[in-house]
């Protein structure tokens, strides 16, 4: 495995990037970004065309390079999620999922029940996190979190 590249970044630049990307995600999804691990699909609820549109706006608004980005590695397409077979399967799954969810609500979430997944496409994807988008914003091009690590640039001490 390749070692992470360590980059020095000024705190003010990192803070600006954090606020900018967080604000963008929250305004586009109408959900709160709670941590760097907040995911586009699972936490922000952006499936299919919704996450595609978000990424398109993100890249265009901030003039980012998306040449190395592989959408299908991170997300399911609209067709994979909502074709007629998937819709029928989800409808049948919903008939099991809804009563189990109702039990959880009635017990004020004191009882947790494993529920079937409503959208189980055939392949596995990784989703994207707020951290992934933050790195993309800072670098100006898509860069995997496994490739880079940021350290806060410290100012040299001045002698008094």
Domain membership of residue 133 as a residue range? 5-75+127-152
CATH number at residue 62: 1.10.1200
The answer to whether residue 25 sits within a structural domain is yes
Output the pLDDT for position 157: 61
Overall number of domains in the chain: 1
Mean pLDDT over 89-104 rounds to 80
Neighbouring residues of 85: CB distance < 8 A, sequence distance ≥ 6: none
Mean pLDDT over 99-106 rounds to 86
Q: What is the mean pLDDT of the chain?
A: 85
Residues 128, 39: contact at Cβ < 8 Å? yes
3-class SS of residue 77: coil
Kindly report, residue by residue over 31-57, the tens digit of the pLDDT: 999 999 999 998 998 888 899 999 999
The answer to whether residue 148 sits within a structural domain is yes
For Cα atoms 84, 89, 95, give the angle at the middle one, nearest 5 degrees. 130
The answer to whether residue 93 sits within a structural domain is no
The answer to whether residue 111 sits within a structural domain is no
The answer to whether residue 38 sits within a structural domain is yes
The CA-atom distances, in angstroms, between 50 and each of 4, 61, 91 are 31, 16, 21
The answer to whether residue 64 sits within a structural domain is yes
The mean-pLDDT minimum among 1-5, 57-61, 81-85, 88-92 falls in 81-85
On the question of pLDDT at 4 being above 70, the answer is: yes
The answer to whether residue 105 sits within a structural domain is no
The answer to whether residue 88 sits within a structural domain is no
Mean pLDDT over 67-88 rounds to 77
């Amino acid at each position: 495995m390749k070692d992470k590249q360590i980059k020095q970044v000024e705190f003010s630049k990192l803070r600006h990037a954090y606020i900018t990307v967080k604000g963008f995600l929250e305004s586009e999804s109408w959900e709160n970004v709670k941590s760097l691990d907040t995911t586009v699909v699972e936490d922000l609820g952006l499936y299919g065309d919704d996450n595609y549109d978000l990424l398109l706006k993100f890249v265009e608004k901030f003039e980012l390079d998306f040449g190395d980005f592989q959408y299908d590695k991170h997300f399911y397409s609209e067709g994979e999620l909502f074709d007629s077979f998937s819709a029928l399967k989800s409808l049948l799954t919903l008939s099991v999922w809804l009563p189990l969810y109702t039990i959880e609500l009635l017990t004020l979430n004191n009882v947790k029940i494993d529920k079937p997944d409503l959208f189980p496409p055939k392949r596995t994807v990784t989703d994207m996190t707020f951290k992934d988008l933050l790195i993309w914003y800072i670098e100006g091009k898509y860069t995997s979190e496994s490739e880079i690590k940021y350290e806060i640039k410290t100012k040299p001490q001045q002698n008094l």
